[in-house]
Structure 1
C-alpha cells in the first residue's frame, strides 16, 4: 500500500473557490458573505501549505494568478489591517462578549490572508501578477516591521500565577490575542520581503526605489538582526524560537543552528546589498555606512558555514570599511509611484459610524446564525490535516516528523515506508473501518462545497 499526502481540495475545487472570490468594502467586514469567504480562504491556505510541504503541483498559486486574484488578496490584506487599526478599537469591549471562535476568526483573518500571500509570493509569477500592488505589500511589510522594532516581544517570559489568570479581564485577554496575531504577521513579513528581493533583478525600478530609498529596509533589517525578536526564554529557563507560526523549545544541541527566520533576514540583506542596481541607487553617507558595518560582528565562521554566500558580502563590507564615503550626485529622475490603497480605503470614512453599524448588524451577541458558524469553524479546525499543518505531523510508529499518510484511510501519518509497513498489522483493522465510513461521507462533500459557494454568491 502506497502512502501519500492527500489534498484537502482538488485543483478543480480550488479554481472554483478562487474564481468566486469577491472584494469586500471595509464597511462589509463581518457580514455573512464575508465569514463564508473567510472559511474559503482558510481552506485555500491549508491546501497551499500541503502543496508546499509535499512540493507538489502548486495549483493554488497558479489559480490565483490565472484568475487575477492576487491583487484582490492584497486589497483584502490592507483593508483588514485598516479595520483593525481604525474600527476595532470601537468594538473591542463588545468583542469580549462575542463567541471566542467568532472574534478569533475576525482577528485572525489578516494573518490567514498574509500567510496565503506569503506562499504565493515565493514565486516570481505571483509577484508579476501583483503588478503595481506589490508596492502596497512592500509598504505593508515596512509598517509591520517598524511596529516590531518599536514594540518587540518580551525576551524573558515570566511564569504566570493562578491569580493572574483569575483576575485577568476579557479585554486584557483579547489584547494578548491581538498582539500574538500581530507578531505572527510580522514574522510572515520577514519572509515576504525576502521572497520579493529574491527577484530583485526583475522588479520594476519604482519597487526597488521604494525598498532602498523611500523605506530603506537596511535600517529595519539590521536592528532586527541585533534584537532577534524570534528568540526568547520561557518560564522554565529554556530557549525558544518562533517557527511555523508558533514558539518551539530548542534542544541545547540546536543552539548554534541558525533559526530559519533569521536566515531569511540575512538572505534579504544579501539580496539588497549585493545587487549592483540596488547599490547604485543606495546613496551612502557616514550614517548609512556605519549601519551596514554593524553586520560584521555577527558574520562569524558559524554563520558563514550555514549561509556560504555571505562570504562575498563580508568581503564587500570589509572593502566598504576602507572606503571614503563620497556624496553621490543625483543625476537621475525617478517618477515614483506611491502606495495609494490605504488612502483610497480611508476616503470619506467615519470609523465610529462603521463600528456602530457592524456592531448592530454583523456582530450581534444573540445572532442565531452564530451557532452554525461556530459548528463549521470547529469542524474546520478539528480536522487532523489542519492540526498537522499547524502543529506538525507525527509518525504513528516512531513519532518523528511525518509528511506522508495512509492513502486508504488518510488518517494515520508516517515518516517512511518502513514505519508504515511495520505499523500495518496494528493499523489495518482501523484503516478498513475508517475507509468504509469515509466512502459514505464523501457523497456529502460536493453538496457542502456548493452550499458554501452559494453563501458567497
Structure 2
C-alpha cells in the first residue's frame, strides 16, 4: 500500500508539532495543523498494516512529541465541555457544523495515533510527567462507556442534533481506544512516573472500572461487535480487540506483585471482582489462555478472608500539568472565547466552507481508514479463527491462543527468523 507522506514530510510535520492554544481552535492555521495530524495518523496506519518500518512512531519518539498528542486530546476534551455549550447558546441553529465536527474529530485522531504508537514501550519513555495527564484523560474517556451508546442518524435531524450525535459517537470510539492506552500504561509502570502505579490502583481503581465495563460489554449491540470503528456481525463467540484489551489489563494489574502492596481488597472490591468469574467462559479461555491464571487468582480471592491493609508506599499528590495549564491559560472565560470563535466554528461563508471541505477531503478518507483497520480483523495462522495476539518477535503472525501459537511454531520458526 502506498504511503501518503514521504519520510521528509513526516520529519517536517513532527518536528514542527507544538501544543496548540484553545483560543486558536478553528482558525485557518489550526485547520492546517488538524490536516497534518490526520495525514500522520493515516501514514502510521499504513506502516502498521503493511508491516513497514514505523517511521511515524520512531520520529515521534526521536523528537519527543508523544506528549503533544496527549496535550491535544485534553485540549479538545476541554473545548467540547466548556466552549461548545457556549457556542450553541450563542447560535442555537447554525447553518453548518462541518468545522465544529472537524474540531471534535481532532480529538479522535489524537487518540487513534496514541493508541498506535503507545503499543511500543519506547513511546511511554517519552511521556514523562504527561503520563499522569494521559491516565486521567483515558480514565475519563473509558468511564463514558458506562453511559454512552452509539446513536444512529435519525430520518430528519437538525444541525445541532447532528453535531451532538457526532460528538456522542466520537466519544464512544475514543472510549474504546483508551482501553488499549490504559493497558499499555499498566504494562510499562517501570518506564513511567512513580505515582502512576498508585493512581491506577487507588485514585482511579482501574480493576473495578474495567470490571464494570466488561459486565455491560458496550462493544456488543444487536448481534454485532464494534471493531475497527464499525459494527460487524458477531458469532457470539469471537473475542473482539476491545474486550481482549480489558481482560489483559485486568490480568496485568491483578497478578502484578505490586497489587498486594497497593490494592487493598475491601469487601466492596471483592464483590465487584467476583462478577468476572461468570464471564470467563470456556470459549474465552480458549481464545485468551493467559486468563487461566487470572481465573485461578479470582477463585482464590473468593475464599480468602478479607485482607488487612498494609501501610503501603507514600502517596504523592499528582499535579496534572497539561490540564491545569490549559485551564489556567483560559481563566474560565469560556463565553468570551466562544464569542470570538463563533464566526469561525459556525461559519456562514459557503465558498469558504467548500474550500475547507476540499482541503480536508483527503484527510477524511474514511474508506482508506476502514481498509487500514486490519488488526481487528486478523485471523489465527493456525486455525483461522479471529485472532487478538501476534508473535512478539516478528509481529507478523497472529494467533487466537497460546496453544495455537505453540502448535504453529514448527512452520513459523523459519519465517520468524527473517
**Normalised TM-score (structure 2):** 0.83
Alignment partners' CA distance in 1, 2:249 and 2:205: 13
Pick the aligned partner of 2:220 from 212, 217, 231.
Answer: 231
Hey, what does 2:175 align to over in structure 1?
186
Using a 3 Å threshold, how does the CA distance of structure 1 residues 40 and 87 change in structure 2: closer, same or farther? same
CA contact (8 A) 1:75 1:341 kept: yes
RMSD between aligned residues: 2.4
Alignment partners' CA distance in 2, 1:245 and 1:228: 16
Task: Name the SS of the counterpart of 1:381 in structure 2.
Answer: coil
Measure how far apart 1:283 and its partner are: 1.3
Please tell me whether residue 110 in structure 1 is matched to residue 137 in structure 2: no
Alignment partners' CA distance in 2, 1:193 and 1:222: 14
Alignment partners' CA distance in 1, 2:305 and 2:30: 57
Measure how far apart 1:228 and its partner are: 0.4
Using a 3 Å threshold, how does the CA distance of structure 1 residues 385 and 49 change in structure 2: closer, same or farther? same
Please tell me whether residue 277 in structure 1 is matched to residue 258 in structure 2: yes
- For these two proteins, the number of residue pairs brought into alignment is 373
Measure how far apart 1:178 and its partner are: 1.2
Hey, what does 2:301 align to over in structure 1?
320
Hey, what does 2:272 align to over in structure 1?
291
Measure how far apart 1:70 and its partner are: 1.2
Could you tell me which runs of 5 or more consecutive residues in structure 2 were left unpaired when the two chains were aligned.
378-418
Using a 3 Å threshold, how does the CA distance of structure 1 residues 83 and 215 change in structure 2: closer, same or farther? same
CA contact (8 A) 1:122 1:196 kept: no
Measure how far apart 1:100 and its partner are: 4.7
Measure how far apart 1:303 and its partner are: 1.1
Pick the aligned partner of 1:255 from 236, 247, 251.
Answer: 236
Hey, what does 1:241 align to over in structure 2?
225
Hey, what does 2:186 align to over in structure 1?
197
Pick the aligned partner of 1:133 from 130, 133, 158.
Answer: 130
Measure how far apart 1:10 and its partner are: 2.0
Task: Name the SS of the counterpart of 1:165 in structure 2.
Answer: coil
Which entry has the higher C-alpha Rg, 1 or 2?
Answer: 1
Task: Name the SS of the counterpart of 1:247 in structure 2.
Answer: strand
Please tell me whether residue 165 in structure 1 is matched to residue 145 in structure 2: no
Could you tell me which runs of 5 or more consecutive residues in structure 1 were left unpaired when the two chains were aligned.
234-238, 395-457
Please tell me whether residue 8 in structure 1 is matched to residue 4 in structure 2: yes
Pick the aligned partner of 2:21 from 18, 25, 32.
Answer: 25
Measure how far apart 1:361 and its partner are: 5.2
CA contact (8 A) 1:28 1:34 kept: yes
Measure how far apart 1:46 and its partner are: 0.4
Higher RCO, 1 vs 2 (CA within 8 Å, ≥6 residues apart): 1
Alignment partners' CA distance in 1, 2:192 and 2:364: 38
Pick the aligned partner of 1:378 from 354, 361, 364.
Answer: 361
Alignment partners' CA distance in 2, 1:323 and 1:386: 48
Please tell me whether residue 42 in structure 1 is matched to residue 32 in structure 2: no
1:58-69 equivalent positions in 2, closer than 5 A? 58-69=54-65
CA contact (8 A) 2:129 2:193 kept: no
Hey, what does 1:219 align to over in structure 2?
208
Please tell me whether residue 350 in structure 1 is matched to residue 339 in structure 2: no
CA contact (8 A) 1:200 1:271 kept: no
Alignment partners' CA distance in 2, 1:90 and 1:213: 35
CA contact (8 A) 2:130 2:321 kept: no
